[in-house]
Chain A
């Protein structure tokens, strides 16, 4: 890769990052309004999330040491790096080089940084929250990766931008939701786990473990964690849209798909209670993993869905 490509790619990535921030934060506010209507009330203004994040960034918080600060920066850096790789519509910072594993593992840098910083604050509730978050990760990642294996085997490429491009070329019939419906169902359930929406909200659990990892955060560190949350929602929902719904070519199409997935996830989460952590693992290692393996076997042995 010559320096020109790297420079242009980084510029595209930064633009995608800024777009992601404004897009997702507005959408979070709008979703709060939709959820409020679901609860038969009005809800806050649509730009409420912006106000929350900036309020937090202007507060004078506390600090428990250098690892508490460093972990937050490492987490936000990792997530922002992952967001820069994400293809949006037909723009991608580094097309062909954004392998699906980069998303999984660079995301894990973010999680590790946040976990490090949370436990570094010294509160045992943060340790419990991180333990639950990591255990939950074992639950939702394995079925998701098996479905992704089926997709990679079928299409012959592991790059997310190329997988999205393959689905955009031939219209609705080539979307993976139509060709691999079981896989899409498993992917959606795993998306609920990734987003941390009920019933998989175990690691936040405000009433049980006082918001888990975020227990000792205040001020700008919490503001950066909220930014991290927005970017990670962007990455997860975009990944789902690109892999299963075929990406999008127009802004309207992208908006409809993205908003549809996120609002559906939020509404489902409002109607369900919270699982305990061993129930989460038992749930994921029953039907989702079985369906994911069935989907993989269908693609590998029968050749359907390619």
Chain B
């Protein structure tokens, strides 16, 4: 085996590192956690260096890997998230029941994602896809709930099996497993295209957490152990985005299905299956936003926001234009970083206070200011506000929706965007701002090794919001490599067919405004500092901070408007009931203990076998 830098080397190295992590954790827990840190960081550097190897094929035993532009892009984002989050493993070692298994499964999940993104043929893709599900399935019960893992596995199994059906169908039709060639051949054949679209699409949608397959996401992400939630939300759902990218861009679906459809005198801009995806994405945005607004648990809120953002990604991918796919890929990048940073801030809060319920916390900015800043930058990016990276992706998506005149989907997307201000503000106000409770008066700031990855992720959000073209150039290359048109980038400007922005300029003007405001502020008389409990209370004397903290049922008036609306969980529970009723009926009809029923079925089967000639 030659030791030239290649994808197979990285993957083999990660396998070895996972076993090493298991062994070392048995000896010394902290050392085992450090193995995960070092392994993820090393994998990230090696993958970044592998950019030049795009297009070459390597083998690892019977598995074949090839690095494509889009695979490289997804892998680097995933590795960045894994590497940053791995620092938190060190602090969670004492809290986990099986630390050795955790470290090993952590690195196996990473291996799975890398393998899936650089797979050359469908069998490799399937093997590593299942490895991802397996590894994360066993980590989730280390947190609060074992039922969450069951739901996660059930949905993922449904998706994986549907993908397996599609893979085998395509093999039967075209005789090969290689991804790009099979998909491009499928584009020419309508039946194969629709089967591939539906099966691989379902796998992607389930993994991404798009309506109606979003049930598992808040349960799994909300109940997973704290360092693993950012991996699930910022990392592994992007594997679903990868599958969706395969069917929409690599296949590509606009070549497979006809775009010559007339609707009320106007020609549609996308084929109908893409439209179906976009509608699912729009509903997912609305559902995710509304559910996130009504949450009281910090982590479930961010998990529901992942559902909403998955909707944005699917809409962008479904539109399959230059700007929209660029927007979707940039959104994958920006959301991965922002979501990971938000979950890490939540993990830091849990590490210091022990709870994620927002109505029990409050005023933590006075004890943990840096964590507050990290969380603030993360939510500014998630809400799509300049100067962070989330603004760029949202702008690109909105601009392309406006250009195509998709009024209803754009209305849902605007609703999701403004609604995101609501749910991102709630943890900020209930957890960090407001009154400091007496039981948290001596809480300390997060430890420095936790601050390091959080600050890195925040810096990434800021830097790529001010200079997004550094990432957009790579995204443009990804798009041209699959045959879509690239992005028009001129200096620091992003130019679309119906508008242009210059993010650096926006930041400069914002900075200038801030400077003027600061000069006004400093010029006038200094304010005197008063303690936090000295509030306007209509001159009543209150001595308990909890009474002055507004955190419970924060959006009660808005929630009341949709409290009675049906939930998707009810739909699934109804399906489960109907299936179990069917099973009960079958058990009554075919498996009863009454001799008469058994004789009846024996007689029917014998008659059927004899072909009715007895009668």
A binds B: yes
Is residue B5 within 8 Å, beta carbon to beta carbon, of the partner chain?
A: no
Are B518 and A137 in contact (CB-based, < 8 A)? no
Most A CB atoms within 10 A — which of B363, B385, B528? B385
Tell me the complex Cα distance, A153–B499, Å: 11
Chain A residues whose C-beta falls within 8 Å of the C-beta of B557 in the assembled complex: 131-132, 135, 276-278, 281
Give the nearest-CB partner of B508 in chain A. A6
Collect the chain B residues with CB atoms within 8 Å of residue A57's CB.
520, 524
**B502: shortest Cβ distance to chain A, in Å?**
5
Chain B residues with CB under 8 Å of A97's CB are: 493, 500-502, 505
Chain A residues with CB under 8 Å of B532's CB are 64-65, 122
Partner of B527, one of A63, A100, A101, A282: A63
B525 near A59 (CB under 8 angstroms)?
A: yes
Contact of A105 with B384 at beta-carbon distance under 8 Å, contacts A77-B517, A96-B500, A130-B429 already known: yes
Taking A122-B434, A123-B536 as contacts, is the C-beta distance between A156 and B498 under 8 angstroms? yes
Interface hit among B45-53, B345-353, B412-420, B604-612:
B412-420
Complex CA distance for A128 and B560, rounded to whole angstroms: 16
Measured in the bound complex, the distance between the Cα atoms of B556 and A276 in whole Å is 13
Main secondary structure of the interface of B (DSSP, over half): helix
Number of interface residues of B (CB under 8 A): 87
Question: What distance in Å separates the Cβ of B3 from its nearest Cβ neighbour in chain A?
Answer: 48
Known contacts A142-B411, A281-B561; A108/B421 CB under 8 A: yes
Q: Say whether B435 faces chain A, with CB atoms less than 8 Å apart.
A: yes
With A125-B536, A142-B415: A94-B505 Cβ-Cβ less than 8 Å: yes
Please report the total number of A residues contacting B with Cβ < 8 Å: 94
Chain B contacts with A in 420-441, Cβ cutoff 8 A: 421-422, 425, 428-429, 433-435
Q: Counting CB contacts under 8 A, is B405 at the interface?
A: yes
Residues of A within 8 A of B384 (CB): 105
B266 touches A301 (CB 8 A): yes
Residues of chain A within 8 A (CB-CB) of B501 are 97, 99, 101-102
B354 contacts A by Cβ under 8 Å: no
Q: Min CB distance, A197 to chain B, in Å? A: 20
Compute how far the CA of A284 lies from the CA of B415 in the bound complex, rounded to whole angstroms: 12
Q: Quick check: B500 and A128 within 8 Å, CB to CB?
A: no
**A292 to chain B: closest residue by CB:** B411
CA distance A215 to B421 in the complex (A): 22
A223 contacts partner chain B, Cβ-Cβ < 8 Å: yes
Task: Give the interface SS of chain A, mostly helix, strand, loop or mixed.
Answer: helix
Selecting from B10-18, B102-110, B296-304, B546-554, the interface stretch reads B546-554
Which of B209-217, B391-399, B454-462 lies at the interface with chain A? B391-399
Q: A145-B410, A296-B405 known; 6 other A-B pairs, CB under 8 Å?
A: A76-B513, A77-B517, A80-B513, A101-B399, A124-B434, A301-B265
Residues of B within 8 A of A (CB): 264-266, 363, 365-366, 369, 372, 376, 380, 383-386, 391, 394-395, 398-399, 401-405, 407-408, 410-411, 414-415, 418-419, 421-422, 425, 428-429, 433-435, 491-493, 497-502, 505-506, 508-518, 520-521, 524-530, 532-536, 538, 548-551, 554-555, 557-558, 560-561
A-B contact pairs, 19 of them (CB 8 A): A9-B505, A65-B366, A77-B516, A84-B513, A97-B502, A101-B394, A102-B501, A105-B386, A122-B532, A137-B421, A146-B407, A152-B403, A153-B404, A159-B500, A216-B536, A227-B520, A278-B561, A293-B408, A300-B266
Q: Which residues of A contact B (CB under 8 A)?
A: 1, 6, 9-10, 13, 57-67, 69, 72-74, 76-81, 84-85, 94, 96-97, 99-102, 105-106, 108-109, 111-112, 115-116, 119-125, 127-128, 130-132, 134-135, 137-138, 141-142, 145-146, 148-150, 152-153, 156-159, 210, 215-216, 219-221, 223-224, 227, 276-278, 281-282, 289, 292-293, 296-297, 299-301
